[in-house]
Structure 1
Amino acid sequence: MDSGKGSLGKESKETLVADKKEGIGACGWILVSLSFLFVLITFPFSIWMCLKIVKEYERAVVFRLGRIVSKKAKGPGLIMVLPCTDVFARVDLRTVTSNIPLQEILTKDSVTTQVDGVVYYKIHSAVCSVANVTDVHLATNLLAQTTLRNVLGTQSLSQILSGREEIAHNIQIIAAEGERNASEALKQASMVLVEAPSALQLRYLQTLTTLATEKNSTIVFPLPMNMLQGFYKQ
């Protein structure tokens, strides 16, 4: 059985890319000035090193001393990359199609079946795809496989056979919103930890307890006195 689906990588309103207007600092500007001076001294030979061609369906995310330049992607056309201080990553904006390997599914009526599918997606934000995800293509494929198993697990075999288009539409919606929901959950968790410092300490102790129960081992760790301030205030 083939289960076709499509998911578009929409740019979320709340990204992990920092929006702070912090500069690269005095030392950074000195390095950039030296790099630009090197380009002027070695002109026109250096122009072949600095000018890069970005195709119509591509965008270039330029990092200058580790920071994204202008917080947006560049291209298409000619872009300038300074030597020693700038690096860039190309992002393909065309629709990507990949096969979902055969998945073994247990349906709602306890029938074991095997399904495969095709996932197609398109990157809308080049910056987010580079700065927020280690491997956007691998992450999308894994998310598609997980969503396929979760959705089909709630359907009976007859529903799966008769409602392929509806199932594909539901999978498309879930896959598109999966990353946004995950980022919102991380934001809420971080806000809780900021508002209640003792929660972070409790989470730390809970992690140690979990590690201790997995194996018969002794864990020795230093306990600063400032960690107990949250308990004293309570």
Structure 2
Amino acid sequence: LEISGRLGCFGWLLVIVSLLFNRICVYFTCLSNDLFFPFPVFCSYIVNEYERAVIFRLGRITDRKPKGPGLFFVLPCTDNFVKVDLRTVSFDIPPQEILTKDSVTVCVDGVVYFRIHCPISSVANVSNAHSSTRLLAQTTLRNVLGTKNLAELLADREGISVSMQESLDEATDPWGIKVERVEIKDVKLPQQLQRAMAAEAEATREARAKIIAAEGEMKASRALKEASLVISEAPSALQLRYLQTLNAIAAEKNSTIIFPLPMDMMQGFMQRK
């Protein structure tokens, strides 16, 4: 929708002339008791910036382009017109029970944003553009989701929305409607299926936890094996580890501490005995 500029000098001149002409016609109509001048030659109307007027003259559309925005004129006896709103509007798709490709029944709702880009087509090609678009959106939602399984429906909402928008836009183009956006709002699953999926997710988490714990034990055993190999190659490392353990025990606030006595210190005493 292109925003037009202000009225020029010619536009304002037409406004003034039309007002004066209408005043004169009304004046002569009031003076004439014998219906000398019963009605004005033409009538003037104004449409807003976001509106257009489709004019019919004797049942036929007069121009290829609608009138507006601003002032336009019609003949009172032969012309009639229909105002069309060009602003973007939205509507909710009511919850639909849909059977997915893998035979799961889900309840899905959504929202559609659209606007009229061709006023003449929206008036001449369809009796009620808004109502027809609502009904078509419901059937399109069923058709698109019927080709998807449950996993795709839960994981790829954006792709499904784009597919619906393209399909709905193509179908409503002859009606002069541009579908700008389609959104999937909510996907409701049966209670039994929700419990089954929750149990499956919990079992998967437990399995992952067991795998992580097993991997941790395996890494710990490998580290102990490497440490034992290092200690066997350097006996002094075992003594250092022994002293570190004693230091850690001494730091604790225990009333009784038992120190293990190394066997090599008892060998001399046992030999003397």
In the superposition, the TM-score normalised over structure 1's length comes to 0.57
In structure 1, what is the Cα distance between the partners aligned to 2:144 and 2:87? 27
**Letter of the 2:146 counterpart:** G
**Letter of the 2:149 counterpart:** S
**Letter of the 2:164 counterpart:** I
Are 2:100 and 1:107 equivalent residues in the alignment? yes
- Pick from 108, 113, 120 the counterpart of residue 120 of structure 1: 113
Are 2:127 and 1:134 equivalent residues in the alignment? yes
Cα deviation digits, residues 141-168 of structure 1 (max 9, x gap): 1111111000000011111111111100
**Letter of the 2:65 counterpart:** K
In structure 2, what is the Cα distance between the partners aligned to 1:163 and 1:85? 55
Q: Aligned runs of 1:155-174 on 2, under 5 Å?
A: 155-174=148-167
Are 2:28 and 1:69 equivalent residues in the alignment? no
In structure 1, what is the Cα distance between the partners aligned to 2:22 and 2:98? 65
**Letter of the 1:150 counterpart:** N
In the superposition, the TM-score normalised over structure 2's length comes to 0.49
SS of the equivalent of 2:63 reads helix
Cα deviation digits, residues 177-209 of structure 1 (max 9, x gap): 124589xxxxxxxxxxxxxxxxxxxxxxxxxxx
In structure 1, what is the Cα distance between the partners aligned to 2:110 and 2:41? 45
Unaligned 5+ residue runs, structure 2?
1-20, 27-38, 176-273
RMSD: 2.3
Are 2:77 and 1:84 equivalent residues in the alignment? yes
In structure 2, what is the Cα distance between the partners aligned to 1:76 and 1:41? 21
Identity, in percent, stands at: 57
Are 2:168 and 1:151 equivalent residues in the alignment? no
- Pick from 48, 53, 56 the counterpart of residue 46 of structure 2: 53
In structure 2, what is the Cα distance between the partners aligned to 1:48 and 1:55? 24
